[in-house]
Chain A
Amino acid sequence: MSTTLRKGGRRSPAGHPDAPPRARRRWSAQKLFDDKLLPLLLVAPAVVVIAGLVGYPVIRTAVLSFTDAAGLSALTGGEINFVGLAQYREIIGDPILRRSAIVTVVFGLACVAGTMLVGIAVALLLNRKFHGRGVLAVLVLLPWAIPHVAASYVYKWLFNDQYGILNWALTQLPGVDFTGFAWFNRWYTAFIVIGLVVIWQSFPFVSIALLAGLQTVPSEVIDAAKVDGASAWQQLLLIRLPMLKPLLLVLVVISTIWNFKIFDQVWVLTEGGPARQSEILAISVYREAILQLDFGLGSALAMVLFTILILFTVVYVRMAREEQP
């Protein structure tokens, strides 16, 4: 009965002069519970689980990053000392680790840009009606379904200096000789291959999500724009994409988180080499913490990666908020 009353009260237009003020006051405690406490209570179990699963490891890693925990002795004997910012200073002072952090950001952003561009392009293509669209949509999804490691091995073979089909294909072009060209000898060519694998595997998600979004753009709006003489580019840049901006921002956040954290692809293709030239933070963390058992330094590197991701996410979320009226 009370629910009906409240609901009824809510449904009445705001500021309706006939609304009984007594009823409003009478149910304010209930309203407070419904609006403030109930959501909190409902969310609480999830918050507890997330705090346990995410919060605890993050805090533990943060604490470890201020210690010199290293080697088996730290694990067995607990020989751990607080060293303040020493691990972070080491990251800044070590040319390889410093470079790894910068490369992670630059290469990560490049991958995000590539993923979004290819994703948008393919979504626009799939949004058109043409013969074989369904087949193409399935094909587009395939790279997403392949495990990272498997895909990376495939690319490793495609780009193999001796037996790779790519060098052979490029060499067939007139005036081009890619015989024995070693893609993984230098960081810049290695990153081209790694970037290709990453984008090839991450654009399908963006495409499919955007395709769904594009189909929600009302055709009247587009028709009206056409009547007003807007070119196809103008329709895209001034109407379709702006309307999908919130969705685009979410996709950028997700891509950023995925592409900044890549590990499998780099590990399979180059292991961060040659001579650690193609190392990114996820690889550095593995090298220091797991291979070297330097848990302090590894934790500090993980915190750097974590901080970078948080910073980017905050910026994106701000941008998304500004969009809302």
Chain B
Amino acid sequence: MNYRRRTGAGLVSGAAALALVLAGCGDGDGGDSDSLTVWIMEPGNPEVQATIDGFGETFEEEHGVSVTIEYVPWPDAHTQLTTAIAGGQVPDVAELGNTMTPEFAEAGAFAEVESPDGAEYVDGLAASSVVDGVNYGYPWYAGARALIYRTDVFEEAGVDVPQSWDEVLEVGDTIADEVDDIAPIHVAGAYQHMNQPLVWGAGGEIAAQQGDEWVPGYDSPEGHEALEFFVELWERDWSPEGAVTWNSADVREAFANEQSAMMVGGGWDLRVILDDNPDLDGNVGVALMPAGPGGSRDVFAGGSHLAVFEESENQDLAKEFAEFMIETEQATEFADQIGFLPGTVEGVDAAVGGDPLFGVFGEQFVDHSRAYPVAGWWGSVEGTGAIPDEFQKLMLGDVTVPEAAANIDAALAGAIG
């Protein structure tokens, strides 16, 4: 009796174990379709992180699935994505800087995605996820830098907002003469997103695609003109010596400390400036980037894509999640918190519509922004820092404009391969 009961219990527990194993198997195949792993760049702000977590929870509830959001620090992002792809341990969805998308897409890491019905993307951001005519990313949020300036200083000097490079120099000279203790504008050797787009303003290209070939574009009349304008700004002695190693944060800090009357920056910069120095509230204006001699005001559309991994077992759900994230409601709330703009035109309008200050960033982004060369090799150019290096050497007087242009083109050609 005793023996039998024991056997019975053993059978029951054995069956239960077997059932668990089977259920486990079921979880392995079908269960994956109920769970998503998402990598998001660490926003460095608990409130913003809570917002993203909240989106995840909303999606979980609406779809009856489980979403795990993991935060990756920006500086580690490239390495972490590389190792994940190499080791085959990829998430289902990942946020990545839009200049990284082509590199990983070319390596075959991402699934092809389509835009949701009726969504109109901002060209500059959307363009950087299209490799060989195939789209590999959802434009999530981005920003474009415009001219941030001091209205009070401009008033004191009696000048208007510059509309062209020549006017920047003229207005700058007047400010230097009329207003004490403030530099008209600072240049910065390591601020590549201010310096690189100058070539577009001059009417040139960083590199142009001709058929299947990429042709570097700095060693051209337009490229030289861009570099010469940069040198001209530097040689006016408006920027301190240390600006050779300055980056965007240093430029922003100097502006917030009332050391300069103009700067190139985005909405996120303006937020920090007003937070750091509330006295500036009401004395700051935003204008479109002054046009170069080529007539273009284009700046770099910098931001993030959401990409779905080719190896995700759950591509459909992953795409649904990405589409959910870029919907106007979510994208606007999130972008607003971090001072960026959503990747859709509707989102941009919702985010800044009518705001006289931040609205300009929206106009700059939608109408006057573009992508860096959309190709896998671009990542390696950013990795070497070859372009900012030449800007720094120009400032140090180590190279001439033609030498710098030739060096940049050589670096580009080397990366193109």
Contact = CB atoms under 8 A, between A and B. Distances in A.
A167 to B, nearest CB: 10
Interface string A278-295: 000000000100111100
B85 A181 contact: no
Nearest to B244: A185
A142 interface: no
Given A76-B86, A292-B380, A182 B242 contact: yes
Contacts of A234: none
A23 interface: no
Interface stretch (A32-40, A98-106, A203-211, A267-275): A267-275
Interface string B111-149: 000000000000000000000000000000000000000
Interface string B372-403: 00000000100111000110110010100000
B242 A162 contact: yes
Contact of A274 (B78, B85, B107, B396): B396
A180 interface: yes
Contacts of B82: 72, 75, 293
B241 A275 contact: no
A161 B240 contact: yes
Contacts of B244: 182, 184-185, 274
B112 to A, nearest CB: 18
B85 A75 contact: yes
A43 to B, nearest CB: 35
A275 B386 CA distance: 8
A72 B85 contact: yes
B245 A76 contact: no
A10 interface: no
B104 interface: yes
B398 A275 contact: yes
B317 to A, nearest CB: 24
B189 interface: yes
Given A72-B82, A72-B103, A292-B384, A274 B392 contact: yes
A30 interface: no
A161 B189 CA distance: 15
Q: Which of A71, A75, A160, A270 has the most CB of B within 10 A?
A: A71
A72 B85 CA distance: 8
B45 interface: no
A273 B242 CA distance: 12
B213 to A, nearest CB: 19
Contacts of A184: 242, 244-245
A273 B384 CA distance: 11
Interface string B72-88: 00000011001001100
B384 A287 contact: yes
A171 interface: no
- Minimum-distance CB pairs A-B, first 9: A161-B242, A75-B86, A182-B242, A291-B383, A72-B107, A275-B389, A274-B392, A182-B241, A292-B383
Given A72-B82, A72-B103, A72-B109, 11 more contacts: A72-B85, A72-B104, A72-B107, A73-B107, A180-B242, A184-B244, A274-B189, A274-B245, A275-B396, A291-B78, A291-B383
Interface of A: 71-73, 75-76, 160-162, 180-182, 184-186, 270, 273-276, 287, 290-293
19 contacts: A72-B104, A75-B85, A76-B86, A76-B107, A161-B240, A161-B242, A180-B242, A182-B241, A182-B242, A184-B242, A184-B244, A274-B189, A274-B245, A274-B396, A275-B392, A276-B389, A291-B78, A292-B380, A292-B383
